[in-house]
Amino acid sequence: MTGTNHGITGAAIALLVREPVVAIPLSYASHFVCDVIPHFDMTFGDKLFGKKFNITLICDFFAAATLMILFGFLFPSQKWIIWACMIVAASPDLAWAYYYLYSDRLKHRKLKPDPITRWHSQIQWSQTLKGGYVEAVWFLLMGLIILTRR
């Protein structure tokens, strides 16, 4: 799923649960639940960190950062738990940056992904352009949950 949807899911969890000890691990777990749901193929059928992927990734990053700022204004007293849950919910995807950018490009060798990253890759059974519709519905659903918490 896009980082924006992982982030908005983390924000919804933060506002529903409110208890950091529960909300933060739940946000981490939500990443994998979201990745099982058929979702948008950010590579557009090309490779990870290809041109189309990178452009989408930059847009995705700015959309997620904009949401963080917006939620900071909408929920000033809960902004720290919201921000923490958003970052934690999106964090498992940082493994891709590590493996594809750090090990491949800088070290010029392919590292074997760790078991969690391998499993993380295998659970994403459906990544298509049509998965963008699923992501739009998910975004609206999470947005609705968040707005009802005001």
Q: Which H or E element spans position 40? A: strand 39-40
> Which region, judged by CB under 5 A, interacts with Zn ion, from 14-22, 28-36, 56-64, 81-89?
28-36
- Please pick, from the candidates 2, 12, 35, 83, the single residue that binds Zn ion as defined by CB under 5 A: 35
Q: Does 127 bind Zn ion (CB under 5 A)?
A: no
User: Are 85 and 79 spatial neighbours (Cβ–Cβ below 8 Å)?
Assistant: no
DSSP lists the bridge partners of residue 40 as 128
Whether 99 contacts 117, CB under 8 Å = yes
Q: Does 104 bind Zn ion (CB under 5 A)?
A: no
Residue 146 C-alpha from the chain's centroid: 17
Using the rule CB under 5 A, give the single segment among 17-25, 50-58, 86-94, 136-144 that binds Zn ion. 86-94
Among 93, 98, 113, 132, binds Zn ion (CB under 5 A): 93
Q: Which stretch binds Zn ion (CB under 5 A): 38-46, 49-57, 88-96, 125-133?
A: 88-96
41 lies in the binding site for Zn ion (CB under 5 A): no
Q: Which is nearer to Zn ion, 102 or 119 (CB)?
A: 119
Scored b (16 or more CB within 10 A) or e, 43-72 reads beeeeeeeeebeebbeebeebbeebbeebe
Q: Which residues bind Zn ion (CB under 5 A)?
A: 35, 93
